[in-house]
Amino acid sequence: MDSIFTTCEHCAERFEAPTRSAGGLTNCPRCGQATEVSGGSDPLWTALVGLALAVTVVAVTIAYQAGGGPAAAMTFGVCALIATIQRLAA
């Protein structure tokens, strides 16, 4: 299995972690605390974030053009963003 080097954010221990955990959390072998694994640029995740932003922009535009005004547009946009994130996280 491929592995990458990462540094513990708590004790600065440098250790190898599986490549699949990049951008996520793994437990440090020295201090045992969860630490973030560097090098996480998952193309799928980047695409999903882009999709969430696009959905938000569309939602804001639709709400604004429907005559709801800026406050309603922002509320609608935030709701759409939260709904998208919840769907992606599920």
Q: Which residues contact Zn ion by CB under 5 A?
A: 8, 10-11, 13, 28, 30-31
Task: Give Cα separations from 78 to 41, 54, 81, 86 (angstroms).
Answer: 25, 12, 5, 12
Counting Cα atoms < 13 Å in the Cβ hemisphere of 90 gives 6
Q: Whose Cβ is closer to Zn ion: residue 34's or residue 47's?
A: 34
In the complex, least distance from residue 18 CB atom to Zn ion, rounded to whole angstroms: 17
Q: Please identify, using beta-carbon distances, which residue of 13 and 42 lies nearer to Zn ion.
A: 13
Q: How far is CA 1 from the centre of its chain?
A: 25
The CB-of-3 to Zn ion minimum distance in angstroms stands at 17
Q: How far is the CB of 49 from Zn ion (least distance, A)?
A: 29
In the complex with Zn ion, the residue whose CB is nearer, 14 or 44, is 14
Beta partners for residue 36, in sequence order: 25
